[in-house]
Amino acid sequence: MSKVDLRSKKTWGALALIAAIAGAMASAFAWTAGWLGSRTISQALVPETPTPFPPGFRRAHGKGMCFTGNFVPEGAARSLSTARLFSQTETRVVGRFSIGTGNPYAADNSTKTLSMALMFSTDDKQQWRMAMNNEPYFATRDPEGFLALRKVTAPDAATGKPDPQRLAAFLKAYPEAEKYLKWAAHKPAPGSFAGATFYSINAFYLVDAHGNRQAVRWMMRPHDPFISLSEAQRQTADRNAMFEGVSQRLAQKPLYWDFVLQLAQPGDPVDDPSQPWPNDRKQIVAGTLEVTQVEAQAEGPCRDVNFDPSTVPAGVEVSADPVLNARSAAYSHSFSRREREIGYGKATEAVQMQEVK
Ligand code: HEM
């Protein structure tokens, strides 16, 4: 990246834009980033005190809805992996749609990030869990960078705005973030879950019957068309439009996504989620996901699931991507807390208090 010149007007404009986007993005994780520390991720998983979070909810992507359906494979992926998902005729799926904010009561138009989580349970008693966003890559190469991004985009106490000097220093240390932040600034506002593409972002390995490993990333590619909202449509949308929309759409007929694998070539960065692989890398349709029913998350089958993406079956292995590694620790932390709160009745108390108000 070229050197950042803080005297240039252009640079200040770019930094202001980046700060605005980065602030919005980082707020999605405000409650979780405190668990990522300056030394190692596992050492940093300390309780946040006091907690500003409503009990019983996920500490990120708190607003969501459960769904169920099934997956039907196509033959192509069987030669790459022994995972039963690719050979079983049909596999039951429990999943969750969510939006990318921590606040479970947020308006749907408060973020452009939509998400899909999946848990496949196959007849060999194995599970494959995924948690994907409608973004093709991550802002930084590691979780420390992500934490740093959150810090530098926080408003400065004196000015109420992010400090451009600190932001410039951050971009020097994490130049890859500029690509993501510029992309995020122009990201179209999605109008539905049904037409969104969801990406694994992190890379994994598929392992075949001979032990050969192929690095892959994947996406869930919708059969419904992508709908983009204008800024005016987005601003005036109902606060629950996205979740109501998916229920209404499902009342007509099931929703479908193709499970598309992207195969890395030697030399492609496997452990860096901020670096997408070239578009010409081979893609394989591994099967089709059918979503048939949605249910409120309070009582639905996704509530007590930790969609930790490092839960993979035989025939799939995690990569050494440090963000993937950090996700596992953070999800576990969030899961333990919310289940404990539910177990002690704290979540019910909080809902009752909301109703009284
Ligand atoms: C360092 C990076 C990250 C951190 C610290 C983080 C943290 C978290 C936490 C704490 C949860 C709540 C887990 C629970 O209570 O079950 C969560 C949920 C989620 N995250 Fe992340 N995350 C990170 C990166 C990512 C990435 C790269 C993606 C997309 C590929 C992603 C997608 C999701 C989704 C879809 C959910 C909702 C899962 C569900 O429905 O249960 N996250 N994240």
Closest by Cα among 346, 51, 84, 356 to 206: 84
Q: Which residues, 6 or more positions from 248, have their beta carbon under 8 angstroms from its beta carbon?
A: none
Tens digits of per-residue pLDDT, 146-161?
999 988 988 888 888 8
Task: Output the CA 357–ligand 1 centroid distance in Å.
Answer: 30
Dist. CA 278 → ligand 1 center (Å):
25
Q: Which residue shows structure tokens 């899909």?
A: 116
Which segment of 149-163, 227-241, 269-283 scores lowest on mean pLDDT?
149-163
Measured between alpha carbons, how far is 1 from 7 in angstroms, rounded to an integer? 17
Q: What is the pLDDT of residue 19?
A: 54
| pLDDT, tens digit (0-9, with 9 covering 90-100), for 57-108 | 999 999 999 999 999 999 889 999 999 999 999 999 999 999 999 899 999 9
Of all helices (H) and strands (E), which one includes residue 290?
A: strand 283-296
pLDDT of residue 187: 94
Q: Residue of the nearest CA to atom 35 in ligand 1? A: 131
Find where tokens 């990569």 sit.
Answer: 319
Q: Rounded to the nearest whole angstrom, what is the distance from the C-alpha of residue 356 to the centroid of ligand 1?
A: 31
Using DSSP's 3-state secondary structure scheme, residue 152 falls into helix
Query: In which band, very low, low, confident or very high, does the pLDDT at 27 lie, cut at 50, 70 and 90?
Result: very low
> For ligand 1, is residue 307 a contact (CB within 6 Å)?
yes
pLDDT digits (tens, 9 = 90+) for 107-130: 999 999 999 999 999 999 999 999
**Residue 113 beta carbon below 6 angstroms from any ligand 1 atom:** no
Res 21: pLDDT: 55
Name the residue among 44, 26, 55, 289 with its Cα closest to residue 146.
26
Distances (CA, A) of 117 to 46, 65, 68, 96: 25, 10, 11, 5
Sequence ranges of the domains in the chain: 61-133+192-320
Q: CB-based burial of residue 125 (10 Å sphere; 0-12 exposed, 13-18 middle, 19+ buried)?
A: exposed
Q: From CA 149, how far away is CA 162, in angstroms rounded?
A: 11
Say whether 279 sits in a helix, a strand or coil. Answer: coil
* Residue 199, burial from CB neighbour count under 10 angstroms (0-12, 13-18, 19+): buried
Binding site membership of 335 for ligand 1 (Cβ less than 6 Å)? yes
Q: Could you give the CA distance from residue 220 to residue 39 in angstroms, rounded to a whole number?
A: 35
pLDDT band at 18, cuts 50/70/90?
low
Phi, psi of 84 (to 5 degrees): -60, -25
Please spell the DSSP secondary structure of 157-223, one letter per residue. TTTSS--HHHHHHHHHH-THHHHHHHHHHTPPEE--STT--EE--S-EEEE-TT--EEEEEEEEEES
SS3 64: strand
Q: Is 146 in the pocket of ligand 1 (CB under 6 A)?
A: yes
Read off the pLDDT of residues 40-56 as tens digits, 9 standing for 90 and up. 443 343 335 345 678 99
State the fold for domain 61-133+192-320: Catalase HpII,  Chain A, domain 1 (2.40.180)
Cβ–ligand 1 distance for 327 under 6 Å, the answer: yes
